[in-house]
Amino acid sequence: YLAAFSGDERKGALAFLDFSTGEFLLTEGTKEQLSLQLTARQPREVLLDRRKKLFFQEAFGTQWLESYLPDWVCRPAQGEKELKSHFGVENLKGFGLENGSESLAAAGMLIHYLRSNGHDRLDHVGAPSVLGSSEFMWLDDFTLRNLEILSSTNPDGVSLWEVVDHASTAMGKRSIRRW
């Protein structure tokens, strides 16, 4: 995944995009809720406003590869403009997105970043799905590590992930990991 963060101490938003499949996900929440989303999705890169660098690192850690965008790209109004242009629509009500929301900013950052880096063909990027925090049972880093869900703490051990992952394609592996 490629991810984008927008927000502050009170509330924030994350947008995730799997460029290979076009899966586009948005979520809003507290720092704790967003931290769980980052842990679950393990994005390869996180986009953010360069002015939010220190806040992001304090809230979510320094293990993420960060790329910084100019502040004008990280505004909800700019995000709305990017999304309307990308999807060819007059408004975003059909996507369940509110005017001025942090989700608009984060989603727009992803589209802008891809276009500015030469990815002009984004036809496969689907409509964003808005994730609710009550739709899933989230496990924090401590629980994932101690239950050995994704990796084993024992050098000769096997994680749950290794036991259930019998997919033969990269897309299948991503689907299983997402569950």
Residues 130-170 pLDDT 10s: 776 555 555 667 777 777 777 788 888 888 767 777 777 77
pTM here is 0.73
Question: By CB neighbour count within 10 A (0-12 exposed, 13-18 middle, 19+ buried), where does 99 fall?
Answer: exposed
Whole-angstrom distance, CA of residue 108 vs CA of residue 84: 9
Q: Please answer whether residues 171 and 21 qualify as being in contact, where contact means their C-beta atoms are separated by less than 8 angstroms.
A: yes
